[in-house]
Amino acid sequence: MGPIPLLLLLSYTAVSVVCGVESEEDYTWHLRKVPQVLNKRTVTLSSPEFKAEAKSALNGTCGIECQSRLPLASVADLENFLSYETVYENGTRTYTEVYFRDFDVQTEHEVKKDSHSRRKRQVYGMDSRFSISDKQFVTNYPFSTTVKISTGCTGILVSPKHVLTAAHCVHDGTDYVKGAKKLRVGILKLRSKRRGKKRKGSKRNKRAAEVKPSFQWTRVKHTQVPKGWFREVTDDVAVDYDYAVLELKRPHKKKFMELGISPTIKKLPGSRIHFSGFDDDRPGQLVYRFCSVSDESDDLMYQYCDAQPGSSGSGIYIRLKEPEKKKWKRKIIGIFSGHRWVDVNGMQQDYNVAVRITPLKYAQICFWIHGNYADCQDG
């Protein structure tokens, strides 16, 4: 679909509220105590080579069906997967081991393995994406939280200085991609451009200004990636850890979107998710979509959203009611990993895959953002 009118988009947004009226208790953000992911020790590593090529689609991913045959990860395994690397703008790198406190492994295994997935391509049948054409609308919340990563991906603002995106946008599982050494984040802002030249001595030298949204680019101070994404750790569950947090060199002034722990499909209004991204086939346009989730595991979800390369790293969000309030609030519950070829019974099938924010991932990402656990106790 082409550009979407403002009033029409508002009507789509209102659908989420209508869906939730039938059972308000089910469609409420239920805050719960989250575990602590604590730093054990940090060591300095050699600088990365930054030679990897960024890839838009990955083959051989062990997805929901494949992972269902694997043994459940132990606490030691999870502590290993959530240990992380930090790469700084000067090219230096550190590795931090973590351990958990107040962690119940059952909180990471809430999804029943009784659902059935269906095949869905990147864009299948009618293209259900909407280009946001309104100049004011595209730079206002929630669309203003969507940012462009200089390596060709999308991200979402999660604090005045932090961006959440996909790990594969900066690291291919073996090395950091070439563009990650001088990583930048583009935030859409309205800018005025004067038409024509001013005439010397003229009192009427102000020409009509054309207001257009354009990117304001900011350098990244450092990048954090979980160890679970690295291939030497594991191939089978690497996609579960396809997320990264970028800290900007200077804060932005835009409203950001808060994190939330991903509920199960049954607790999503209409089983529906939303996200916006900068799809490669629509250059210069912010593309919004909403769709149903077709299948889920503890860490992943397959969804029906049409997407193209460039939208990877988008923040997936839903809107639920705040406890004891009438107000609905959007929160990020996942990261769009992108179009992936998934191993299903020994055959490769293509799905659009997202990484769910579990209690442990919430605790880790929240700590990366705030630097303390006082602000990360409830998710």
Active-site amino acid positions? 168, 236, 312
Half-sphere exposure at residue 356, Cβ-oriented, CA atoms within 13 angstroms: 26
Angle between helix 75-82 and helix 359-370 axes, rounded to 10 deg: 30
Closest CA to 299 of 25, 61, 103: 61
CB 243 within 8 A of CB 300: no
- CA gap 143, 136 in Å, rounded: 10
- CA gap 206, 278 in Å, rounded: 34
CB 154 within 8 A of CB 313: yes
Could you tell me what percentage of the chain is helix, strand and coil, using 3-state DSSP and rounding each to the nearest 5?
Answer: 20, 35, 45
Closest CA to 242 of 331, 340, 324: 340
Q: Which residue has the tokens 């990993």?
A: 337
173: phi > 0 → left, psi -120 to 50 → alpha, else beta; which?
Answer: left
- The structure tokens listed for 361 are 């991932």
CB 350 within 8 A of CB 340: yes
CB 293 within 8 A of CB 262: no
Q: What's the angle, vertex CA 368, arms to CA 363 and CA 372, rounded to 5? A: 75
- The structure tokens listed for 249 are 């060199």
73 phi, psi to nearest 5 deg: -70, 140
C-alpha distance across the termini of the chain, in Å: 36
**Residue count of the chain:** 379
Please state the separation of Cα 167 from the chain's center in Å.
10
Question: Tell me, what amino acid is at 323?
Answer: P
